[in-house]
Amino acid sequence: MGAIFTSLERTLAAGVVLLIIIVLLVGAATGQMTKIDHAWATFAMRWLHVLSGVMWIGLLWYLNFVQVPTMPKIQPVETRTAITKFIAPNVLFWFRYAALATVVTGLLLAWMNGYILQALTLQKNFIMIGIGMWMALVMAFNVWFIIWPKQQQILGLVEATAEQKAKAAPIALYASRFNTMFSIGMLYCMVAQQNMPV
């Protein structure tokens, strides 16, 4: 066990091996082996999309549910630099690239499902997924063009005066809270599409 769980890379590789075993066992038990066709490719894209979406929204919720409310309670104050210097930059790296991966896989999925334009133009049977996609696109815009630039100033990753840092803090917080607010309805719209008549 230690050989796997002492390394994140080996843990992830073990997860993939486990998945392959499950797929082979289910194939053997049902007599239906996976056929690599368009339907399977679309399904695999949906899986990649949900993986990256979980990484993104998981980190958004970590920031909102755990890091932001806990920061003011950390004593002595100097120890807060463990968060600002080490944890937060790492969180923000995975956070923004997970957001990008979710957008790319989500748009590819809509395209592979054959409804990308109908969804983006909010047409009747695709209005739910369309609204979800627009909400998630606004959220991704917030991540890359508001939260990340302001956090770079707050965390001292770019040059900023004390006044600029003070101004950046509430903007970054409100944009992050805005995304948390949007995440509730956005996820409802994402999972609702399967139940819409086509």
Q: Does 147 bind ligand HEM (CB under 6 A)?
A: no
Interior angle at CA 16, CA 13 and CA 22, nearest 5: 145
x/- letters, 22..51, toward ligand HEM (CB under 6 A): ------------------------x--xx-
Nearest residue to the partner ligand HEM, using Cβ: 106
Question: Does residue 49 contact residue 109 with C-beta atoms inside 8 Å?
Answer: yes
Of 14 and 50, which CB lies nearer to ligand HEM in the complex structure? 50
Of 153 and 193, which CB lies nearer to ligand HEM in the complex structure? 193
Q: Does 54 bind ligand HEM (CB under 6 A)?
A: yes
DSSP per-residue codes, 36-73: -SHHHHHHHHHHHHHHHHHHHHHHHHIIIIIIHHHGGG
Q: Is the dihedral of CA 5, 88, 174, 103 positive or negative?
A: negative
Token look-up 């840092």 returns 165
Q: Does 55 bind ligand HEM (CB under 6 A)?
A: no
Rule CB under 6 A: which of 105-134 touch ligand HEM? Answer: 106-107, 109-110, 113, 129, 133
Helix axes of 38-61 and 162-192: crossing angle, nearest 10 degrees: 140
Residues forming the site for ligand HEM (CB under 6 A): 46, 49-50, 53-54, 56-57, 102-103, 106-107, 109-110, 113, 129, 133, 136-137, 140, 187, 190-191, 193-194
